[in-house]
Structure 1
């Protein structure tokens, strides 16, 4: 008895959404200044992308840094999947131009924020949903 290559596999988990994780180290004494940016311009841009269906959600997590060089804030942006994230890049760039301004203005803002924070890195993570895929 042969098994079809297309036989249905029933696993107790499946791939979920994709998250972009940005690891930020807010500089000592600059937490309020950076969080004002996050609650203002960053949030406005996330909301614009959410309204356009480019992202599903976003979150901000604060963590305790154990050493001076560790990140202490994580900015999380949720996408339906990698294909959606990549397909929406051009539209996201256009929205950023509307909510933030020209490339020059964006670079100036990045430079100004570097006084308040350091970007420690970014990662993409895929959520694993611990239940069978719905058919």
Structure 2
């Protein structure tokens, strides 16, 4: 009896991949990385100032996050001809998965202190950039990796 059960289990396991491949309801994609896109409108006359900040402080911040394993990559995208009400810069940050956002507040604060020196400095920097740019929106997207 036991050998019959083992043989039946073996047969079931060997046919499962074949059945999954022909299953019309099987998913045609897998979850990929998560992207965060922030649409930024620079203040007239401050485009170069903002790009300079991106090239220095923001880039250093993103590199520190990358080194800490929080993000995978980042990009700065420029909008060629923004329409009225649209941004002229898009900041793209790639995370491995949604679990990257499930960090404790204490961990987040500790990382900010490591990058900026203090939470007060981080807040001051954020406030000072308000004169050269406006964050219009931030969108979180998950990539669908087609099979």
Asked if these proteins are the same fold (TM beyond 0.5), I'd say yes
Partner of 1:128: 144
RMSD (Å) for aligned C-alpha atoms: 2.1
Q: Displacement of 1:89 after TM fit?
A: 6.2
Partner of 1:66: 83
- Bigger Rg, structure 1 or 2: 2
The runs of at least 4 aligned residues of structure 1 exceeding 6 Å deviation read none
Q: Which runs of 5+ in 2 are unaligned?
A: 1-15
Change (3 A) 1:82 1:73: same
Q: Distance in 1 between matches of 2:136 and 2:88?
A: 10
The 5 Å alignment of 1:1-135 reads: 8=20, 10-63=26-79, 64-67=81-84, 69-87=85-103, 90-130=106-146, 132=147
Bigger drift between 90-99 and 78-87 goes to 90-99
Query: TM-score, normalized by length of structure 2?
Result: 0.75
Q: Which runs of 5+ in 1 are unaligned?
A: none
Q: Displacement of 1:22 after TM fit?
A: 1.1
Q: Which has the higher contact order (CA 8 A, sep 6+)?
A: 1
Change (3 A) 1:62 1:89: farther
Change (3 A) 1:27 1:99: same
